Amino acid sequence: MAFASDEVGNYPKVGVGLAGFGSVGAGVYKHLQRNRRLLAERLGIELTVRRIVVRDASKKREPQPPRELFVSHWRELIADPEVQIVVELIGGVEEAFALVTDALRAGKIVVTANKALLAEHGQEIFKLAESKGVPVLFEAAVAGGIPIIKAVQEGFIGNRIESAHGIINGTCNYILTRMANERGLTYQAALAEASALGYAEADPTLDVSGWDAAHKAIILASLAYGFWVPPGDVYVHGIQGITAEDFVHAKRLGYNIKLLAILKAHADGAVEVRVHPTMIPHDHLLAEVDGVFNGILLWGDVVGETLFYGRGAGQDATSSAVLSDLAQAATDLIRDNEPNRFRPHGLYGRCLPIEQIRSEYYLRLSVKDQPGVLAGVAGILANRQIGISSVLQPPPMYPSNIPNPTASPEDLPALPAADSTGTHQHVDLILMLHFATHRQITEALEEISRLPYVSSDPKPALIHVEHLPE
Ligand SMILES: NC(=O)c1ccc[n+]([C@@H]2O[C@H](COP(=O)([O-])OP(=O)(O)OC[C@H]3O[C@@H](n4cnc5c(N)ncnc54)[C@H](OP(=O)(O)O)[C@@H]3O)[C@@H](O)[C@H]2O)c1
């Protein structure tokens, strides 16, 4: 969707330095441009990319930023007075550590998506940030597009986190989902599939060994429990040993197998932090988090159970998390101490009346069981350009013949024999309808309701059908 104009008002500007322009860096740049005006209107601040650093500045990029934005070393990016927020997206640990600590020493706010860096050096980084009075933001480091960091830091601030169970590695979850769904599929075959689809790195060890999930678990546990969890204290077991037979047995026993990161708090102050393949009841919502998706079930002593679901990696989901950190950082810089508030802006601004809203529909009519009924109803719909996607005429339902939902087709009740009085009995006629406005469908329904063979008891029922985003 495009707004009428991309012209940004006269807002204070905050300069961003992008260290790294790979999958995530390019995504952040692209979406910062795309939602530039929306962000500016929401924040009352304009975020502007001032500098970019990569290893090879001559590489063609998509999108291609202006050449003059590129510098040859990240030290130049940090040294630039126009860069107020440094976004570390180079990955790896030691170089990223040097970059982040130099940025903090220079008093620049740091945004990073680097879970390995935080898991290994979180304690030193946050100590330095504290001493410099500069924030480090890392929403993208855990579960990609799911805002779990802000949920733990803000939404659940009044809760003791009793436990968290997370599917937080999309590669492993893809492999395990495929093994669960295709009987006999081996781990190696599922991994090869994940690689072919680009869901696994050329060297998938960090993912399948469980360590990528462990890095994220360490960050979550450290936030939840207030001390930096030493990586050596975390039990980590990967998915390489899971066989096709394990899935057959698990299914028979009513379970699914997932790589779970598990956090649990004990009354004596000890905590569990572990990552390993885990059998969970197959009908639990977490067991249905499939493919590359992530899911986190978090239990707070005040809120109870909450479930988060979404894309845990990928350019767009990760960029979404980085943008939220950038917005927070910019707000901290410009509006220090200003309370959270609602900022009205003019990018949207009217609610569509229901008459104009388009939807698909389920229409249930009670009609006399006689020839010509369907043609009559379909004619009225066609006159108003409403298409029918399917028609169903089930046998009448009496309390005594409502079928068991698990019944096989031959157990379904037979259509009752013709009425002995010779009059036509009423039967349900179900129509699934293509998109139409509310006005179109209500006018059509008024006309249909007046047909002599359409009953008013029960009245026609119209239910909106939504195909949810996949
Ligand atoms: N990809 C995801 O879905 C995802 C999800 C969550 C978190 N993350 C995290 O986000 C970070 C970035 O991931 P990515 O997938 O975007 O990585 P990537 O595609 O490999 O991109 C890395 C970028 O950093 C640049 N770079 C590497 N070392 C550098 C150095 N020493 N100096 C300057 N530039 C350097 C590279 O330059 P060239 O382009 O010239 O090679 C490249 O532009 C990682 O910490 C990763 O764990 C990624």
How large is the C-alpha radius of gyration of the chain?
A: 29
8 Å CB contact between 299 and 161: yes
Strands across the sheet containing 304-311: 235-236, 271-281, 255-265, 161-167, 293-300, 304-311
312 in contact with ligand 1, CB cutoff 6 A: no
Q: Which residues are marked as active site? A: 216
The residue whose two tokens read 């429990």 is 225
Q: Indicate whether this model's pTM tops 0.75.
A: yes
Could you count the other beta carbons within 10 Å of the beta carbon of residue 241? Answer: 9
pLDDT at 347: 81
Could you count the other beta carbons within 10 Å of the beta carbon of residue 171? Answer: 24
- Looking only at the bridges linking them, the beta strands covering 136-137 and 46-53 are unpaired
Question: 237 is written with which tokens?
Answer: 């077991």
135 in contact with ligand 1, CB cutoff 6 A: no
Give 469's pLDDT tier (boundaries 50, 70, 90): low
Residue whose C-alpha is closest to residue 426's, from 400, 401, 457: 457
Give the integer Cα–Cα distance in Å for 258 and 279: 6
In residues, how long is the chain?
470
Structure confidence by residue, pLDDT tens digits, 22-34: 999 999 999 999 9
Question: 128 is written with which tokens?
Answer: 């330095």
- Is pLDDT of 345 > 90? no
The helix-helix angle for 244-252 and 170-181 (nearest 10°) equals 70
The b-or-e profile of 295-320 (16+ CB within 10 A means b, else e) is bbbbbbeeeeeeebbbbbbbbebbbb
Quote the ligand 1 centre to 49 CA distance (angstroms). 17
The residue whose two tokens read 């998109």 is 435
Question: 403 is written with which tokens?
Answer: 């079928």
**Mutation test residue for ligand 1: of 95, 294, 318, the one with most atoms within 8 Å of CB:** 318
Give 326's pLDDT tier (boundaries 50, 70, 90): very high
The b-or-e profile of 418-438 (16+ CB within 10 A means b, else e) is eeeeeeeebbbbebebeebbb
User: What is the chain's mean pLDDT, rounded?
Assistant: 91
138 in contact with ligand 1, CB cutoff 6 A: no
95 in contact with ligand 1, CB cutoff 6 A: yes
Nearest ligand 1 atom to the CA of 92 is 45
Give the integer Cα–Cα distance in Å for 201 and 414: 56
Quote the ligand 1 centre to 114 CA distance (angstroms). 9
140 in contact with ligand 1, CB cutoff 6 A: yes
Structure confidence by residue, pLDDT tens digits, 195-242: 999 999 999 999 999 999 999 999 999 999 999 999 999 999 999 999
pLDDT at 415: 42
